Amino acid sequence: MSFRALNLSPQVLLAVRDAGYTEPTPIQIAAIPHILAGHDVIGIAQTGTGKTAAFVLPILTRLAASMQSGQRRGTRALVVAPTRELVVQIEENVRAYAKHLPLRMATVFGGVSERPQLEALRSGVDLVVATPGRLIDLMGQRAANFSGIEFLVLDEADRMLDMGFLPPIRQIVKALPQKRQTLMFSASLSREIEKLTHEFQRSPKMVEIGRRANPADTVTQFAYEVRAHLKPALLLHLLGDPQFDTVLVFARTKHGADRIARRLESSGIKTGTIHSNRSQSQRLRALKDFKSGAVRVLVATDIAARGIDVDGISHVVNYDFPMHSEDYVHRIGRTGRAHAIGDAISFITPEDHGPLRSLERFIGRGIVRKRAEGFDYNAAAPPRDERGRGERRQSPPKMEPKSPGNSARGSGDAAQRNSGRRPRGFSSTRRSWGRSR
């Protein structure tokens, strides 16, 4: 099927061609006609399936006519997403798809000054992309006039529920006209999401891509069984392969993420980190460096990594196996995006066997176990005082908070500055690798 057959406006078609897309993805084929026909839509699709374009392209098509006739009618489309990274990415997508249209848009998210966002909202933009918390703050200051909203998009609705955003979303929806089109996207269809559709949508058309919660088919998945103390060395061993070119590493905790990054850096591997203790500018910088190839490895926690959209991630490494199967699906959705091929690798310690079995049931298939060639699986654990600082043994991890992570307080950098010594117990594998590009 071609984009032309989807009845998108000529300016939108031109932008799609400029983006280099040759054909619509399944979610686009399924969702765009419903949205253009004015229906509410519930889209069950993971990031990486092209779902952003699936809602942005038809919204722009519907807004195009009046934008061009110069009839400005205030804000007409509101997209709500869980994290600032996702907001920035949606903004980048909208700007690319609207490049031939006189669209005015604003983004709203925490961790940065309110003033420019207030001014942008007051100036009356066509489209707003926002995280719920900051949007509520600005709405409280009467900055936004949403009485003319025609489109509401709730992106990654499942994640917003997990993050406790239901109350602010309810408040936001209350301020919108009853007569509007509501588009909701979620990685999986849970009972909570079904409840949400009843609350916010009218006779929605359901569009479901692939099996529920099924990781992208283009991702090859492997599990490496390894004892906990060998995880740092195994990561370095794998990074010795130049095919590990653009690697996203997931850690369970912020401090764990900082620790991994320090170890890689001390071994000469350019590494960025992204988690909720990092300031907005640090997070954007890390993402930019990763996208440009200035850093080869990005270490992230689940919340901060939500929706990261970087083309050509070669590998996702679950350094710490995720506690929830949904997180696994989201993590590995970072690679293999929109038809690309990528590998997802999970380190499995003895305590991860239970969660791994649950995951295999969840995704309906087994994950191939693999052994790293040439890796010394029998290396002894370093003496206790030589283990990397705080290497987790018995004590439960301090989890990344279930929050949008808008606070920039208590930067992980401080921990890094104060740690003083380079982690030991790691030097035997110390070597450096250049980027392969």
Element (H, E) at 79: strand 77-80
**Is there binding between residue 215 and ligand AMP (CB under 6 A)?**
no
User: In angstroms, how far apart are the furthest CA atoms of the chain?
Assistant: 73
**Is there binding between residue 381 and ligand AMP (CB under 6 A)?**
no
How crowded is the C-beta side of 158, counted as CA atoms within 13 Å?
A: 21
Contact set for ligand AMP, span 329-348 (CB under 6 A): 337-338
| Closest to ligand AMP by CB, 48 or 425 | 48
**Is there binding between residue 48 and ligand AMP (CB under 6 A)?**
yes
Contact set for ligand AMP, span 131-190 (CB under 6 A): none
Rounded to an integer, what distance in angstroms lies between the CA atom of residue 15 and that of residue 95? 10
**Is there binding between residue 43 and ligand AMP (CB under 6 A)?**
no
Residue 293 burial (CB < 10 Å; 0-12/13-18/19+)? middle
Which range of residues in 43-51, 61-69, 269-277, 278-286 is near ligand AMP by CB under 6 A?
A: 43-51
Instruction: Give the shortest CB-394-to-ligand AMP separation in angstroms.
Output: 39
Rounded to an integer, what distance in angstroms lies between the CA atom of residue 390 and that of residue 402? 22
Tokens 């954007």, residue?
A: 284
Rounded to an integer, what distance in angstroms lies between the CA atom of residue 275 and that of residue 89? 17
Q: Which amino acid is present at 126? A: D
> Which of 9, 52, 246, 282 contacts ligand AMP by CB under 6 A?
52
Burial 416-435 (b: 16+ CB within 10 A, else e): beeeeeebebbeebeeebee
Task: Show the binding pattern over residues 1-30: x = contacts ligand AMP (CB under 6 A), - = does not.
Answer: --------------------x--xx--x--
Distance of CA 323 to the CA centre of its chain: 17
Rounded to an integer, what distance in angstroms lies between the CA atom of residue 100 and that of residue 96? 9
Size of interface with ligand AMP, in residues (CB under 6 A) = 15
Task: Find out whether 120 and 50 touch, Cβ atoms under 8 Å.
Answer: no
The helix/strand/coil state of 49 is: coil
Instruction: Give the shortest CB-427-to-ligand AMP separation in angstroms.
Output: 39
**Is there binding between residue 391 and ligand AMP (CB under 6 A)?**
no
Which range of residues in 51-59, 65-73, 120-128, 129-137 is near ligand AMP by CB under 6 A?
A: 51-59
**Is there binding between residue 218 and ligand AMP (CB under 6 A)?**
no
DSSP string, 100-112: TTT--EEEE-SSS
| Closest to ligand AMP by CB, 228 or 310 | 310
Instruction: Give the shortest CB-48-to-ligand AMP separation in angstroms.
Output: 5
Instruction: Give the shortest CB-23-to-ligand AMP separation in angstroms.
Output: 6
Q: What Cα–Cα distance (Å) separates residue 32 from each residue in 5, 92, 180, 390?
A: 11, 20, 17, 50
Rounded to an integer, what distance in angstroms lies between the CA atom of residue 301 and that of residue 16? 32
| Closest to ligand AMP by CB, 284 or 338 | 338
Which range of residues in 42-50, 202-210, 220-228, 247-255 is near ligand AMP by CB under 6 A?
A: 42-50
| Closest to ligand AMP by CB, 122 or 212 | 212
**Is there binding between residue 309 and ligand AMP (CB under 6 A)?**
yes
> Which of 174, 179, 292, 311 contacts ligand AMP by CB under 6 A?
311
> Which of 15, 34, 44, 49 contacts ligand AMP by CB under 6 A?
49
| Closest to ligand AMP by CB, 283 or 337 | 337
Query: Dihedral of CA 84/89/92/94: which sign?
Result: negative
| Closest to ligand AMP by CB, 90 or 226 | 90
**Residue ranges binding ligand AMP (CB under 6 A):** 21, 24-25, 28, 47-53, 309, 311, 337-338
